Amino acid sequence: MDIEIISKKKMYNGYAKVEQWQVSQNGQTKTVECVQRGQSVAVLPYDRNTDSVLVVSQFRPGAIDQGPSLIEMVAGMIDEGETAEQAALRETIEEVELALDGSALTKLGRFYLSPGISTETTTIFLVEADLSQVDVNKIGGLVEEGEQIRKHLISAQELRTMLASANGASVTLALAASALPL
């Protein structure tokens, strides 16, 4: 496939950066938009003793047709100079106040979530943890980022049932759930 980027024009420079590209593909020119997002992580804490997982919900504008929030994994952007593993550990503290043992992280892979429009990749981790001390009644997240993250401790079976109904879960959650023990 013969592709040449002829030009790039910044359209928006906020939380997401949007560029408009002129692209020549096999001699045909077209205009495309690309959201520049960077790299992120998603973490699914799993408690083998109770066969339960810790998921979160928060406002997600892209999923507004499903309701104001979406059930998903602990997740966030990888900061400059940070590894995916370091970001995973930081995000679980920020979002759900759960300190993890980094050696317990199991990397499931790195995936493009929507490559037709975005450069963002997400590294997904499954981590075994003791979830008995998680306070699901306390809102998580960083106040300075406007986060209001609700925590949900559910059985692995409930998660599988929810995903089977395909009722607005994130794709990263579905991928991680497939790695849970049966």
Binding positions for Mg(2+):
75, 91, 95, 147
Considering only CA atoms, which of 79, 69, 90 is closest in space to residue 40? 79
Is 145 among the catalytic positions? yes
89: left (phi over 0), alpha (psi -120 to 50) or beta: alpha
List residues forming the annotated binding site: 75, 91, 95, 147
CA geometry: angle 150, 84, 120, nearest 5 deg: 80
Instruction: Point out the catalytic residue in the list 19, 97, 145, 158.
Output: 145
Active-site annotation, residues: 145
